[in-house]
């Protein structure tokens, strides 16, 4: 975006919709959760508090071919190993509790389930509350809400950032199409984005919520639901391949 001569970035220290209107922008992309515009026009949403915390850290490890993400469903919640590079991996532990976990406790959990990495260093732990948030309306005139503001999902499926990447690709395609047609109406562009993506983000968000509910119930039943399913998938190459295709 910085290389695009048609785009100009302006930092506003204080702003309101009236100030922005005077500048006569074609399209405004709003991605801040707590600014005055969001508080006034983008508060209607589907929201669910999971009453749990996601604990994240980055591990440095011996160099390997690090291309596969791994998810382990522990009795206290899913633990994800997400590759960043050949010698760094992100850790996300979604604990089914609001109790903070310190570095020492998370290190023990990582060491218990780690079978791939020779770890040399673990960063400090950051924790954040886990919520499902799906904005009901993405637009107000020529203002388009974007990013975490329009969707937050449970981290167990590792899809939150992927959803934003898909949104970026969609918006980029819409902008390219409108530039090609000579259309610079920001309200039309914002509405087109909502039309193309709102239902998909809703399906993804609710689907991930359903998966989380399934594994919570499965945990209470001591894996009596997931055990037989994974056993079938593991023993059937076609189903295994198809399940991988669907998840991708």
Average pLDDT over residues 52-73: 93
Higher pLDDT, 206 or 244: 206
Write out 190-224 in H/E/C secondary structure. HHHHHHHHHHHHHHHHHHHHHHHHHHHHHHHCCCC
Question: Domain 17-46+131-217, what fold?
Answer: FAD/NAD(P)-binding domain (3.50.50)
pLDDT of amino acid 60 = 97
Instruction: For 182-197, write each residue's pLDDT tens digit.
Output: 888 999 999 999 999 9
pLDDT of amino acid 247 = 65
Window from 52-66, 108-122, 226-240 with minimum mean pLDDT: 226-240
Q: Compute the distance between CA of residue 110 and CA of residue 196 in angstroms, rounded to an integer.
A: 40
Report whether pLDDT(152) > 70: yes
DSSP letter assigned to residue 180: H
Phi-psi group of 20: left, alpha or beta (phi > 0 → left; psi -120 to 50 → alpha; rest → beta): alpha
Report whether pLDDT(107) > 80: yes
CATH 3.30.9.10-classified regions of the chain: 50-130
Tell me which H or E stretch contains 76.
Answer: none
Mean residue pLDDT across the chain: 89
The percent of residues above 70 in pLDDT, for the chain, comes to 96
Enter the CATH code of domain 50-130: 3.30.9.10
CATH 3.50.50.60-classified regions of the chain: 17-46+131-217
Q: Give 231's pLDDT tier (boundaries 50, 70, 90).
A: confident
Q: Compute the distance between CA of residue 66 and CA of residue 122 in angstroms, rounded to an integer.
A: 17
Report whether pLDDT(76) > 70: yes
DSSP-derived 3-state class of residue 67? coil
Average pLDDT over residues 25-43: 89
pTM over 0.85: no
Q: Give 215's pLDDT tier (boundaries 50, 70, 90).
A: confident
Closest CA to 28 of 44, 43, 36: 36
């Amino acid at each position: 975006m910085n290389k695009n001569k048609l785009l100009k970035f302006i930092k506003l220290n204080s702003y309101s919709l009236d100030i922005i209107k005077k500048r006569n922008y074609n399209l405004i992309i709003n991605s801040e959760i707590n600014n005055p515009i969001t508080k006034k026009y983008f508060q209607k949403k589907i929201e669910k508090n999971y009453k749990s915390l996601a604990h994240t850290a980055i591990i440095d490890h011996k160099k390997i071919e690090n291309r596969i993400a791994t998810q382990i469903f522990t009795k206290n919640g899913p633990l994800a190993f997400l590759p960043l590079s050949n010698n760094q991996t992100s850790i996300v532990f979604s604990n089914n509790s609001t109790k903070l976990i310190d570095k020492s406790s998370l290190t023990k959990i990582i060491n218990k389930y780690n079978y791939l990495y020779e770890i040399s260093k673990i960063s400090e732990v950051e924790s954040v509350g886990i919520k499902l948030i799906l904005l009901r309306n993405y637009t107000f005139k020529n203002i388009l809400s974007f990013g975490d503001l329009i969707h937050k999902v449970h981290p167990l499926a590792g899809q939150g950032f992927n959803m934003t990447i898909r949104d970026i690709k969609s918006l980029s395609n819409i902008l390219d199409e409108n530039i090609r047609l000579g259309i610079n109406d920001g309200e039309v562009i914002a509405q087109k984005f909502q039309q193309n993506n709102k239902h998909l983000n809703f399906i993804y968000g609710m689907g991930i919520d359903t998966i989380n509910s399934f594994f919570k119930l499965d945990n209470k039943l001591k894996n009596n639901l997931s055990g037989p399913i994974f056993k079938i998938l593991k023993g059937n190459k076609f189903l295994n391949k198809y399940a991988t295709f669907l998840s991708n």
